[in-house]
Structure 1
Amino acid sequence: MEFFVKSGNPEKQRSACIVVGVFEPRRLSRAGELLDEISEGYLSNLLRRGDIEGKVGQVLFLHHVPNVLSERVLLVGCGKERELTEAQYKQIIAKTISTLNDTGSLESICFLTELRIIGRDSYWAVRQAVEATEDSLYSFDQFKTTKENTRRPLRKLTFNVSSRKELARAELALQHGLAVASGTKACKDLANMPPNICTPLYLSEQAKILEQRFEKIATKIVDADQMAELKMDSYLAVARGSKNQPYMSIMTYNGGVEGQKPVVLVGKGLTFDAGGISLKPGAGMDEMKYDMGGAASVYGTMEAIAKLDLPINVIGILVGAENMPDGNAYRPGDILTTMSGQTVEVLNTDAEGRLVLCDALTYVERFEPECVVDIATLTGACIMALGHNISALVTPHKGLAHEIITASNQASDKAWQLPMDDEYQKQLDSPFADMANIGGRPAGTITAACFLSRFTKKYNWAHLDVAGTAWRSGSNKGATGRPVSLLTQFLINRSESDTTELSN
């Protein structure tokens, strides 16, 4: 699909379809009023008859509206004007796109990007419209023998902004939105892959493909033999029960100046998590292919920043492994020695993500990072705390927390900071080792982060638990692509800050 931005009056637009909003109760948006004026009250007469109330999600297609140059007019319900929320805006865009796509509108000019949302500007409206459009059109059907193809799909979409002085920001929003949407799609495609195909080896192969696609990305793969030499015994223990060998993929993006310290993203990549000896319940176990959602989001983010050609150095790590039960699997009661030399008593083999991440977090010390963010579908407790709408952020570093929360708000990919007081560390005490791998049921998301924090003393670090946001369940199940938008915005902000400092 092709996207464009422009600034123009609706009555002068010639297109297959022009999209304008209707507010409750039966009140046209500014663009709608201009069309109503040239059509001599045609639209307002329909509203008076009650053809559309303006509730969010309502649509009304009109053909050959008098004096309107466009072939069709699509009226879209936008709810109450002063109560329009960010979530409603994205819902409105998604409904608009599905309607246009299903009704044979090959092209359209959309005036919904002129809607006013408190605290948001045209940049946000255009970028979110692009991301919402691509999200609503996404499908994962490569394993279906019969595919549902739209006969006349939407191919060209132009977003209108209210004044020409907003065009520069709108063009930037288009650029950012397309890159994020591409990265989000890459994340979804990777996470939606079945686990018999998406193994740790497959993850490493995809990382190598990214190297081939982008000149500024170089990929290195660390295999099981190299992990053994590095004494990553905790990582290897998790993978021991599977015939699929572990691979850690290291993608280095060199966009910044030489010598600039990198931002490191570490993604948990459990391509299937059966729980090991602490076997998970059978119901819903198919969704444990999504336990590599953190790695998928790092992969998608690396694609997004490469497409944007950001002036920053970033290292993305896919921590690939599979957690299965067999005669060689690690057991509850085992004591593992991590790469850092610290020992861990295993109380539950289904708390495996932290056991692979801890060795990866020790490994990244060699990069002398500016900061490290790990992303993981780590705890069910996170879903109990925050549900499926907001990711959890845990970090002892206030400045880094502020950066990530700010980026999450800018990108509308929300995260919420949980506390990390020293008192929580006591829950990890073990009588036999330096620590246990779980801290009991209370504050499970926080104690998991406390475990990881013990391996991050040499750099600024933050942890994102995306167990509730990386995928959705039910009849519409699938990967969400989060938090690619958040991470990309975080790196955009970082690159702009670094560029400003260098120019000064």
Structure 2
Amino acid sequence: MDFELKTLGLPAAAGEKCDALVMLVPDAFKPGKDVLSRLAGDAVKARDLDTKAGKLLQAYRSTGVAAPRLVLAGCGDASGRKVHTAVVAAMGALRTSGAKRLVICMPEGAKDDAVRAAVLATAESSYVYVATKSKPEGRELRRVVIGVSDAAPRKVAFAAATAAANGIEFARELGNLPPNHATPTRLGEEAKKLAKAHGMQCEVLGPKEVAKLGMGSFMAVAQGSEEPLRFIVLKHMGGSPGDAPVVLVGKGITFDSGGISIKPAQDMDEMKFDMGGAASVLGTFRAIGELKPAVNVIGIIASCENMPSGRSMKPGDIVRSMSGQTIEILNTDAEGRLILCDALTYAERFKPRAVVDIATLTGACVVALGAVRSGLFSSDDALAQALSQAGDAAMDPCWRMPLDDEYGDGLKSNFADVANVAGRAGGAVTAAKFLHRFTAAYPWAHLDIAGTAWKSGGAKGSTGRPVGLLFQYLLDQQSTAPAKSAKAAKPTGKSVGKPAKRK
């Protein structure tokens, strides 16, 4: 889909040749003498249109309006969140219209957040998965014009929003692919294509290379599957050569059966979404490639399947991670942390300013936060604050969770340095504490996206989250990149950042 930002007042908008016109009407709307203003003003006066965000009034072939379909959409105070609600509602009304060209008239004086919201809401609402359908129908909308009173001040926000929208769609498409298509090999191929298209560097390692690195924990998860593992490293070096990079680490379990600790059959098909962290890293790099921010970013993806077979890891097995720490496998369905811990150790070699891992890690986080906010855990207050602010700005929110050392006590093992699960209580926190053990060399944050990476039920599908949050965070780092890498304080307390748990 192509987006265009255009200086477009209401009088000119009435004459725009398009299939549908959406006019956002705020609480403070003051009608002028043009056709659209009169229509909206009369509708508000007659109480046929409520300016509350999401309320609509539709018209067809209105006199003086070139577009055959007109949607007047209330947008409340015209803030980003209200505009997002309004555009989603309007797009819902136009879903079956067959419109190919759409014009959205923003309220007078719309700010950056409103423009960003309009772009993201349009892209979100018009996305249709067709990759594996025999009749790929439903993607009619091709061009969207965002009309504002003055385009010049909004160009930067618009460019960032369109890049983010493309990155989110890329992540959604990968996430929605069936597991026999979106294999670890396919993820490696997609990473190489991204790198080639956008001038990035990419390296894809297979089982032999991973074995040489000593990633015993990662290999233990992969050994039960016929699909070979892939360890993907993407690099965008847009900052100064001396700037320490931000490292994004994505969990890429392309299908999670639970292994020997097998999951219930019901809804197991949704475990194709267990590579949501990997998809979000690739989606973020898709957005980076379009906007090319002045920051050094490295993406790391550990990808494999978790399958039951005669070669699978078993409860009671002990594996040695790349860090040298030994891990007792108590539950093979707690596999995400087992691949991430080796990726987090690998990240040390880049002397990063910060490392953020993204994973559909625990059902416990879904219980705690539902599908609204991703769980945020961090060893660094400044990093946590920056991610939280980026999430709010991108309308992709997260919520900081505790990381007290006492939560790590449940991961004690009589036979290894650490167990891979603790008890049921505080499962999202204990999983984060397990990862914390492997992050002493840098500021670190963990995003548990088990509740936000996909939707179930009638709206089943990938959401592309948290690409918006990650991309906004990277844009915010352009002016704050330090010349040298930051060193995190070592985790304190007798648990040394222990414990774990999983969905």
TM-score past 0.5 threshold: yes
Name the structure 1 match of 2:492: none
Name the structure 1 match of 2:206: 223
Post-superposition offset of 1:73? 6.7
Give the secondary structure class of the aligned counterpart of 1:176.
Answer: helix
Name the structure 1 match of 2:474: 491
Q: Is the 8 A contact 1:113 1:159 kept in 2?
A: no
Equivalent of 2:193 in 199, 209, 212: 209
Q: Is the 8 A contact 1:3 1:174 kept in 2?
A: no
Task: Give yes or no for the alignment of 1:96 onto 2:93.
Answer: no
Name the structure 2 match of 1:451: 434
Show structure 1 runs of 5+ residues with no match. Answer: 116-120
Post-superposition offset of 1:133? 0.6
Q: Is the 8 A contact 1:268 1:353 kept in 2?
A: yes
| Alpha carbons of structure 1 residues 499 and 401: separation in structure 2 relative to 1, 3 Å | closer
| Alpha carbons of structure 1 residues 325 and 47: separation in structure 2 relative to 1, 3 Å | same
Post-superposition offset of 1:475? 1.4
Name the structure 2 match of 1:135: 124
| Aligned pairs for 1:337-376 within 5 A | 337-376=320-359
Task: Give yes or no for the alignment of 1:336 onto 2:319.
Answer: yes
Q: Give CA-to-partner distance per residue, 1:249-278, whole Å, 9 cap, x none.
A: 111112112232111100000000000110
Name the structure 2 match of 1:2: 2
Name the structure 2 match of 1:161: 148
Give the partner amino acid of 2:147: N
Name the structure 1 match of 2:495: none
Q: Is the 8 A contact 1:430 1:436 kept in 2?
A: yes
* Mapped partners of 1:176, 1:334: distance in 2: 47
| Aligned pairs for 1:179-328 within 5 A | 179-215=163-199, 217-328=200-311
Please say which of residues 305-314 and 279-288 is displaced more in the overlay: 305-314
Give the secondary structure class of the aligned counterpart of 1:331.
Answer: coil
Post-superposition offset of 1:205? 1.2
* Mapped partners of 1:57, 1:315: distance in 2: 39
Task: Give yes or no for the alignment of 1:170 onto 2:167.
Answer: no
Q: Give CA-to-partner distance per residue, 1:121-173, whole Å, 9 cap, x none.
A: 611111111111111111111211123346xx4444332334x3xx3331112
Identity %: 42
| Aligned pairs for 1:420-435 within 5 A | 420-435=403-418
Name the structure 2 match of 1:118: none
Q: Is the 8 A contact 1:61 1:72 kept in 2?
A: no
* Mapped partners of 2:411, 2:365: distance in 1: 18
Give the partner amino acid of 1:174: F
Post-superposition offset of 1:47? 5.3
Q: Is the 8 A contact 2:376 2:398 kept in 1?
A: yes
Give the secondary structure class of the aligned counterpart of 2:299.
Answer: strand
* Mapped partners of 1:366, 1:41: distance in 2: 63
Give the partner amino acid of 2:409: K
Post-superposition offset of 1:409? 1.0
Equivalent of 1:60 in 57, 67, 70: 57
Give the partner amino acid of 2:363: G
Give the partner amino acid of 2:72: V
Q: Is the 8 A contact 2:373 2:399 kept in 1?
A: yes
Give the secondary structure class of the aligned counterpart of 2:319.
Answer: strand
Give the partner amino acid of 1:346: I
Post-superposition offset of 1:77? 4.0
Equivalent of 1:19 in 13, 19, 22: 22
| Alpha carbons of structure 1 residues 39 and 393: separation in structure 2 relative to 1, 3 Å | closer
Q: Give CA-to-partner distance per residue, 1:212-234, whole Å, 9 cap, x none.
A: 2111x111112111111111111
Q: Is the 8 A contact 1:319 1:356 kept in 2?
A: yes
Q: Give CA-to-partner distance per residue, 1:187-232, whole Å, 9 cap, x none.
A: 01111111111111111111111122111x1111121111111111
* Mapped partners of 1:136, 1:269: distance in 2: 26
Give the secondary structure class of the aligned counterpart of 1:34.
Answer: coil
* Mapped partners of 2:390, 2:462: distance in 1: 21
Equivalent of 1:74 in 63, 70, 77: 70
Give the secondary structure class of the aligned counterpart of 1:264.
Answer: strand
Q: Give CA-to-partner distance per residue, 1:439-497, whole Å, 9 cap, x none.
A: 11111111111111111111111101000000000011000000000000000011132
Give the secondary structure class of the aligned counterpart of 1:463.
Answer: strand
Give the secondary structure class of the aligned counterpart of 2:346.
Answer: helix
Please say which of residues 357-366 and 52-61 is displaced more in the overlay: 52-61
Give the secondary structure class of the aligned counterpart of 2:457.
Answer: coil
Post-superposition offset of 1:424? 0.9
Name the structure 2 match of 1:482: 465
Q: Is the 8 A contact 1:424 1:447 kept in 2?
A: yes
Q: Is the 8 A contact 1:238 1:323 kept in 2?
A: yes
Please say which of residues 475-484 and 201-210 is displaced more in the overlay: 201-210
* Mapped partners of 2:206, 2:98: distance in 1: 50
Q: Is the 8 A contact 2:10 2:37 kept in 1?
A: no
Q: Is the 8 A contact 1:114 1:122 kept in 2?
A: no
* Mapped partners of 1:249, 1:22: distance in 2: 47
Give the secondary structure class of the aligned counterpart of 1:286.
Answer: helix
Number of positions where the alignment pairs a residue of Structure 1 with one of Structure 2 = 481
* Mapped partners of 2:300, 2:470: distance in 1: 14
Q: Give CA-to-partner distance per residue, 1:333-387, whole Å, 9 cap, x none.
A: 1111111111111111100000111111111111111111100000000000000
Q: Is the 8 A contact 1:12 1:69 kept in 2?
A: no
Show structure 2 runs of 5+ residues with no match. Answer: 485-503
Name the structure 1 match of 2:497: none
| Aligned pairs for 1:388-427 within 5 A | 388-427=371-410
Q: Is the 8 A contact 1:379 1:445 kept in 2?
A: yes
Task: Give yes or no for the alignment of 1:462 onto 2:449.
Answer: no
Post-superposition offset of 1:110? 2.3
Please say which of residues 2-11 and 377-386 is displaced more in the overlay: 2-11
Give the partner amino acid of 1:11: P
